[in-house]
Amino acid sequence: MEDRPPNEDELVARAKRGEPAAYGEIVRRHQSIAFRTAWVITRNAADAEEAAQDAFVKAHAALGRFREGAPFRPWLLAIVSNEARNRLKSAGRRERLALRVAEERRPGGAVPSPEAALLDSEQRDELLAALEELSDTDRETIACRYFLELSEEETAAALGCPRGTVKSRTSRALERLRARLEPADA
Amino acid sequence: MRDLEQTLTQIGRELEWPETPDLSASVLARLEVLPPEGSAAGAEPEPPGTEAAPPARRPSRRRRLPGLLPPRGLRRALVLALVSLLVLSGAVFAAVPSVRDAVLEFIGLQGATVERREDLPPPPPIEPLELGTRTTLEATPERLAFDPLVPEDPGDPDGVYVSDRAAGGELSLTYRPSESLPRARTTGLGLLVTEIRGDLMPDFFQKLAPEGAVIEELTVGGEPAAWIEGAEHFFFYRAPNGEVVEDELRLAQNVLLMQRGPMLIRLEGAFDRDRALEIAASLR
């Protein structure tokens, strides 16, 4: 038999039966998106870590009610975002979302991708600064859709809004971001 | 706009994210390797029946509680906090240990749990309902992560309220008492309909029913439901972080709890089960 990694449905089924290793694998597969989503909301790495960890614990407790065959990630992200928002509320502070482009992440000497080549660092800084000026909702919407590359369903779960609202929120957030960029372009 | 979207995606791929911590070890350590709810070893999930389920003990279901609630120390603190509240409000919560331990029956729905307890404390005083902000049905979509359902029987509500204490919002529809909807002692209303996104809020509603209460597991529209009747029961909210929302502890009368897709719907009143099922069948 071919040794293939278990798919998500199998892992969830095994975790429901109480196999810790299966749930550990689920956590490993989703911890990055869970942590980053929490960070976008809390804007603090320590809070994001705690929120993501709490979310995984609560998701495990609620696994019995997870609908078989449903996508796991939106369900998890809804729990993550709840935890992150609670933590943000109880922290009583607002940090700025410290978005920076990792210049050094590009392999040394490698030719940048055609898209990247079009974006000089000044443009990136300008865009990130404009993003920082947007409302929390606009910034989170853009971060979910474009930075985290979440689907509409996942974004709706992370933002706690109907799926249909994601489209309109995204469109409005982009309009407002463009409006902030335009005066500089003119 | 397309260029801006592409630019944002490109920037996202080059962002310097904080390093993701390895959460698997810490999560597994916290789980105490307890199986999650519904994972009764070797047992098949029980199909919800249309007949009243016998009040069988479900020790396997009972085991899920430690995983769902905060750690034991914190749970004890929460229970004690609840005790303090009741003492302050004039009630005496004399039977706390047995309240916590003696679960005779447990029903878990998406967004709610119902527990029949061997012993319950004296009831808290009846307080005015806290349903959130008054609004209109037309204005609710902006504040709710679901499409509200309204029962055609009895029709348009007398009051519409929205609260944000549940993820995705909580909708309450109120109906004045009428011939077909007698006044409930606990709410002063003929009917109170509450709707939340149950899939986002495990155990949002929690009910503790006394031994004399009837708790029936039902199927409504092909989905799980529970009917609680015969004795007023405790009803409280649980915040997303698992904490008891203490100031929301109140008594509830007859209640039909039902899942409808991702939603959990709660009908409360002094009506009987058949009347509740009629109202449920008219939800559109």
Domain end marker among A91, A106, A123: A91
Percentage of chain A surpassing pLDDT 70? 80
CA A135, CA A128: separation in Å to the nearest integer? Answer: 13
Q: What are phi and psi of B59, to 5 degrees?
A: -60, -30
Which runs of consecutive H residues, i.e. helices, occur in B120-172?
Answer: none
pLDDT of residue A113: 52
Same structural domain for residues A43 and A87?
yes
Unique residue bearing structure tokens 């603090």: A44
- Report chain A's mean pLDDT, rounded to a whole number: 82
- Residue A4's domain is classified under what CATH number? 1.10.1740.10
pLDDT of residue B191: 94
Q: Considering only the beta carbons, identify the residue of A24, A79, A102 that sits closest to B15.
A: A102
Which residues in chain B are closer than 8 Å to A155, comparing Cβ atoms?
Answer: none
CA B51, CA B40: separation in Å to the nearest integer? Answer: 22
Residue B242 CB neighbour total at 10 angstroms: 19
If contacts are CB pairs under 8 Å, which of residues 146-165 in chain B contact chain A?
146-147
Q: Could you tell me if B108 lies within 8 Å of chain A, comparing CB atoms?
A: yes
Question: Residue B237 carries which side chain, given as an amino acid letter?
Answer: Y
Please choose, from the candidates B265, B143, B127, B141, the residue with its C-alpha nearest in 3D space to the C-alpha of residue B192.
B265
Please choose, from the candidates B93, B104, B123, the residue with its C-alpha nearest in 3D space to the C-alpha of residue B249.
B123
- Structural domain contains residue A28: yes
Angle at B87 between CA B81 and CA B92, to 5 degrees: 115
pLDDT of residue A151: 93
Range of the domain at A44: 1-91
More confident residue, A175 or B245: A175
Mark yes or no for CB contact A49/B23 under 8 Å. Answer: yes
More confident residue, A64 or B193: B193
Q: What is the pTM of this model?
A: 0.48
Same structural domain for residues A135 and A50?
no
Same structural domain for residues A74 and A118?
no
Which runs of consecutive H residues, i.e. helices, occur in chain B?
Answer: 2-14, 24-31, 59-62, 64-68, 72-88, 96-101, 273-281
Same structural domain for residues A124 and A57?
no
Q: Considering only the beta carbons, identify the residue of B28, B36, B167 that sits closest to A63.
A: B36
Q: What ipTM is given for this predicted complex?
A: 0.82
- Residue A119's domain is classified under what CATH number? 1.10.10.10
Lowest mean pLDDT among A89-103, A171-185, B255-269: A89-103
Same structural domain for residues A74 and A158?
no
Q: What are phi and psi of A16, to 5 degrees?
A: -65, -30
Q: Could you tell me if B167 lies within 8 Å of chain A, comparing CB atoms?
A: yes
Helix (H) or strand (E) holding A9: helix A8-16
| Predicted confidence (pLDDT) at residue B250 exceeds the cutoff of 70 | no
| Predicted confidence (pLDDT) at residue B244 exceeds the cutoff of 60 | no
Mark yes or no for CB contact B36/A15 under 8 Å. Answer: yes
Confidence band of B217 (pLDDT split at 50, 70, 90)? confident
**In total, how many domains does chain A have?**
2
- Structural domain contains residue A98: no
What the block records as the tokens of A63 is 């696994």
Confidence band of B243 (pLDDT split at 50, 70, 90)? low
